[in-house]
Structure 1
């Protein structure tokens, strides 16, 4: 199913369904397809919102976790959302954490899956390797327990990005910003109920990262999914949606 991308001022987003806002933040190589099953399931019960993060459109000075958080905050203010169920995957989780620490007042719950912010394995010192399709394919496959989920369309997209010199510079800037922005000492400030959904086979933010988030965020609960990598909402959507729904329904008005 294709979704209509709306635009208001500089912000592009999709919005499906009605009810309390469920706002989804994608990762570094994220796309709407990452959340397709989640959107289809939850749009019957919530207003599902996916801002298209300008990962490669910001000037280099603002190509940071903080710069992307400011974009998200501006979007939330412009749209007037309140009582938000905020969910982030990978870099999107890091942005969500930064946002809830700076602007907790509009956030009702937080969900993280494969989030950076404490520790993440990068794509390696030699990444991004321009012009080497097989190398990029193997790196993309590491996102998943089942490497076949890194289909040609996804690999082609990553390959195109990594063959553009300016985009590569911005990817490196974001990766370095994520490493510098370690939130270890701030996570105890999060008061909202927090759900952590982790793949047991995540090699990018391994299971110990989920356990550490669980230890540091006071009101958090952690679920592991077997045979699942860094993007559970893509790889095991039914199980992911069930865990998320059972969590969110506890806080529905």
Structure 2
């Protein structure tokens, strides 16, 4: 995926297309390639924005879900986005939740897929066995229903991260922060329309996590996708995009109807 990475001050991001912004937040081992199918599809309808989250660049005291949510807030303020949709996968979903709880008036809709925030089979405690490629490969394969999705390129990316001692410390810090910063009843205060897309075969945030989010977030709808793991937008991009686009179209037709009335 060769898109221009733009910079503004300390922020690095991709921004493609025109229309209402859709801001995408990646997870702990997230890379831009995670969102390539989504970006290619939605740039025809929306302004698609992917900020590079500074997972390894925050100081250790700010290396937390809350620290990342503050970073996202500063990024959105700097760019002046309004009336935007916020979408997050895995840790990115958790960051989106912390953000919307602090800035509810700013978000038009929330889209979560395989989000942490209630429960996850953490990678943080056991993950970084530095230098063990086979172990990293197996762990990466667990993200997907189809282990072939864990391409050599993807495994190499994760292996490179976990071979760096400082990055490993940051990963463990973020994973522990996600487990500590568990959300519960406060999710009931989220008023924004919320779309939950879950893989039926997600072993990291299992289907019951999606069901619990659905119970807690009042204005939410939940869609399960079969033969799909923790990253539906990568594993089944066509199905994911169809569900998400339908949701956004329905939102806009409601808004048009309300304005007409």
TM range (shorter): over 0.9
Partner Cα separation in structure 2 for residue 218 and residue 87 of structure 1: 17
Structure 1 residues without counterparts, runs of 5 or longer: none
Distance (whole Å) between structure 2 residues aligned to residue 125 and residue 73 of structure 1: 29
What's the counterpart of residue 233 of structure 2? 233
Write the deviation string for residues 198-239 of structure 1: whole angstroms up to 9, x where unpaired: 000000000000000000000000000000000000000000
* Structure 1 residue 126 displacement after superposition: 2.8
Normalising to structure 2: TM-score of the pair?
Answer: 0.95
Shift of 1:127: 2.1
| SS at structure 2 position matched to 1:62 | coil
Residue 163 of structure 2 corresponds to: 163
Which residues of 2 match residues 154-193 of structure 1 at below 5 A? 154-193=154-193
Q: Is the 8 A contact 1:81 1:106 kept in 2?
A: no
Q: Which residue of 2 aligns with 1:111?
A: 111
Tell me if 1:88 matches 2:88.
yes
For residue 49 of structure 2, give the secondary structure of its aligned residue in structure 1: strand
Cα offset for 1:63?
0.6
Q: How well do the aligned residues superpose, as a CA RMSD in angstroms?
A: 0.9
Q: What stretches of structure 1 move > 3 A for 4+ residues in a row?
A: none
**Aligned runs of 1:1-253 on 2, under 5 Å?**
1-123=1-123, 125-252=125-252
Corresponding residue pairs, total: 253
5+ residue gaps, structure 2: 257-261
Cα offset for 1:123? 2.2
Displacement of 1:124: 6.6
Aligned equivalents of 2:79, 2:104: Cα separation in 1: 17
Q: Give the deviation of 1:144 after TM superposition.
A: 0.2
Query: TM-score scaled by structure 1?
Result: 0.98
